[in-house]
Structure 1
């Protein structure tokens, strides 16, 4: 009995190391990508021209930075056994998730009017990225909350939602070195974190957890759909309609 308890304790310790280490790695990558344009703007030289900051962009950066801190804190609390505080903080973070979704969509549509997009991509076409990012992120967070009484599913859904935040940061990293990154980079690299989760599942339980499989499928499917739509006339007209309905003139 003592041997079994010790083995379970070691398993929980390694699980904590995996999820905490992944959280730190994700946050470091996101912050590194946004150093020249946000966190160290005006201090760190930028390799590409940057649009002026607006109050909306500042608000967007603030709420998403708060989410990064919240996710790290929640991961560390859960791993250290402070489930009571983890749950209370999670409930307190619900308004932040709602604010993130609303602000992200508003900033994305407003970005079309500011001509915010990677070089060579029309802003209306680029709108396909955030307009899919937000519902995928919100859907995974919602599923994680629904499964909050099932730690195995809950932590994997939160992890999957975080991988969706990697694209914007990772997409900016190559530009700091004068390299243009394509969809394979800012979609493919975040997917490696899901591959790492699958490998961890296999190592820790001998099988890939079903929640890991369907979360990965959702993420990859959304990426493939975006890659098919981004250059299409159908998307251009749809995005134009969204832009007009939002109250801005093309």
Structure 2
């Protein structure tokens, strides 16, 4: 048993890929939101408390994810496990706040102009629940470190969509802005597959499950539902009696006007 434990510990500490990838992911997210602020496109200062709570919780997850990878790389497995249970509860708050902010924006008619309102309404909740599903699976498989890390990795990749949306010239990519964002989200998982192949000569099956959830959930399902009568009915039910009801669910909003 001691030999097995030592081997596992060596394997965890001997693969810096996940640590450096976590740091790179965090830097991309910070860069995306920093660019938004630097260019004066952020309304964060005037945003309601709900938006502030959403931002704090989601950025808090970025900090947790990086910290967890640092703890594993340094061999602090006991602390990693204790923080993991805090992270599990954190995911619930992310789902609640992510959906609440999306509903508020759609009802107020303030969805990003490079997505259709219905696309945005479907995309955000599906993305956050896809992230939560992969993270929950990673927690269940926490004793199988190889699965645990890769599933968490794919879940984290999903959360990078908003950051990519602030880095990419999405207004110039209409009507393919969503597809461009999806392609960017796939960058890190594809890099993970390549890293596995180069290191071991094979691709771990966890990548298949993680990438499958990303493709089927955040691309196929979102596109099918946002272009269906069911999706339109959901939009009408969500926006009934609000300013969002006056906005066509499948039309791109006009470009914002600046003074």
TM-score when normalising by structure 2: 0.81
Residues 14 and 196 of structure 1: CA distance in aligned 2, closer, same or farther (over 3 Å): farther
Residues 9 and 139 of structure 1: CA distance in aligned 2, closer, same or farther (over 3 Å): closer
Q: In structure 1, the residue corresponding to 2:186 is in which secondary structure?
A: helix
Paired residues, number: 234
* Corresponding residue for residue 226 of structure 1: 222
Residues 121 and 193 of structure 1: CA distance in aligned 2, closer, same or farther (over 3 Å): closer
The answer to which of 91-100 and 71-80 deviates more is 91-100
Residue 169 (structure 2) pairs with residue 170 (structure 1): no
Q: In structure 1, the residue corresponding to 2:198 is in which secondary structure?
A: helix
* Corresponding residue for residue 134 of structure 1: 128
Give the Cα–Cα distance (whole angstroms) in 2 for the partners of residues 143 and 11 of structure 1: 21
TM alignment of 1:200-219, pairs within 5 A = 200-219=195-214
TM alignment of 1:6-85, pairs within 5 A = 15=15, 17-37=16-36, 41=37, 44-46=38-40, 48=41, 50=43, 52-85=46-79
Residue 106 (structure 2) pairs with residue 112 (structure 1): yes
Q: CA deviation at 1:125?
A: 3.2
TM alignment of 1:152-191, pairs within 5 A = 152-175=146-169, 179-180=172-173, 182-191=177-186
1:180-215 residue CA offsets vs partner (Å, 9 max, x unmatched): 461232101111211111112222332111111111
Give the Cα–Cα distance (whole angstroms) in 2 for the partners of residues 111 and 118 of structure 1: 9
1:110-143 residue CA offsets vs partner (Å, 9 max, x unmatched): 1112323222544233211112112101101110
* Corresponding residue for residue 3 of structure 1: none
Give the Cα–Cα distance (whole angstroms) in 2 for the partners of residues 180 and 82 of structure 1: 44
Report the aligned-residue RMSD: 2.6
Q: In structure 2, the residue corresponding to 1:105 is in which secondary structure?
A: helix
8 Å CA contact 2:57–2:93 kept in 1: the answer is yes
Residues 23 and 242 of structure 1: CA distance in aligned 2, closer, same or farther (over 3 Å): same
8 Å CA contact 2:95–2:128 kept in 1: the answer is yes
Residues 120 and 211 of structure 1: CA distance in aligned 2, closer, same or farther (over 3 Å): closer
* Corresponding residue for residue 256 of structure 2: none
Q: CA deviation at 1:68?
A: 0.5
1:18-50 residue CA offsets vs partner (Å, 9 max, x unmatched): 11111111111112111254xxx4xx223x575
Residues 232 and 56 of structure 1: CA distance in aligned 2, closer, same or farther (over 3 Å): same
Residue 235 (structure 2) pairs with residue 239 (structure 1): yes
Contiguous gaps of at least 5 residues in structure 1: 1-6
